């Protein structure tokens, strides 16, 4: 009796790849990366942040209030000034290292006008500038 090949698969190679072990390895790697990624980020920045107890306000600053109304007119400490007058006033006061200019701009004033006033202040040597707003509820 001759022993014949009764099944077709005995002599042929398997043509499909078993992806189950590959999926298992990929899921394990994904879990490892998910767990370790947040732990690596803070250590990579190497920044020593300062510790403070409270914010200290510099009360020695000479604060000057500059108001810009809705029409774009400028007043410095309640004195209406033109752009040339503003330049002269800022030039004389900006040499003081404790000088701080506080800008109060009306909500309706064009941003371009505020930018012009800021440029005048910068050109005349004002280095400390702040904006005052009204805080809402």
At 77-90, the pLDDT tens digits run 778 889 999 999 88
Does any domain span residue 30? no
Residue 64: phi, psi to the nearest 5? -115, 130
User: What per-residue confidence (pLDDT) applies to 39?
Assistant: 75
Does any domain span residue 34? no
Does any domain span residue 53? no
Does any domain span residue 78? yes
Sheet with 99-105, edge to edge strand ranges: 79-81, 74-76, 62-68, 99-105, 129-131
User: What per-residue confidence (pLDDT) applies to 46?
Assistant: 52
As for how many domains the chain has, the answer is: 1
Place of tokens 């040597």: 125
User: What per-residue confidence (pLDDT) applies to 23?
Assistant: 94
Does any domain span residue 89? yes
Chain centroid to Cα 90, Å, comes to 30
Does any domain span residue 67? yes
Does any domain span residue 51? no
**How many CA atoms are closer than 13 Å to the CA of 5, on its beta-carbon side?**
6
What tokens does 53 get?
């107890």
Does any domain span residue 55? no
Lowest mean pLDDT among 41-55, 97-111, 117-131: 41-55
- Segment 26-74, tens digit of pLDDT: 999 999 999 888 776 655 545 555 566 655 556 677 788 888 888 888 8
What's the CATH number where 82 sits? 3.30.420.270
* Pair 67, 114: CB distance under 8 Å: no
- Domain that includes residue 115, residue range: 62-131
Q: What pTM does this model have?
A: 0.54
Whether the per-residue pLDDT at 24 is higher than 80: the answer is yes
């Amino acid at each position: 009796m001759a022993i014949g090949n009764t099944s077709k698969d005995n002599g042929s190679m398997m043509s499909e790849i078993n992806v189950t072990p590959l999926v298992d390895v990929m899921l394990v790697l994904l879990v490892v990366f998910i767990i370790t990624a947040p732990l690596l980020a803070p250590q990579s920045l190497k920044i020593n942040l300062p510790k403070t107890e409270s914010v200290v306000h510099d009360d020695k600053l000479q604060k000057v209030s500059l108001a810009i109304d809705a029409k774009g007119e400028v007043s410095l400490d309640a004195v209406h000034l033109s752009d040339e007058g503003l330049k002269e006033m800022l030039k004389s006061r900006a040499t003081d290292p404790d000088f701080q200019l506080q800008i109060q701009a009306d909500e309706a004033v064009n941003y371009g006008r505020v930018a012009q006033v800021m440029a005048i202040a910068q050109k005349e040597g004002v280095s400390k500038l702040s904006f005052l707003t009204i805080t809402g509820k």
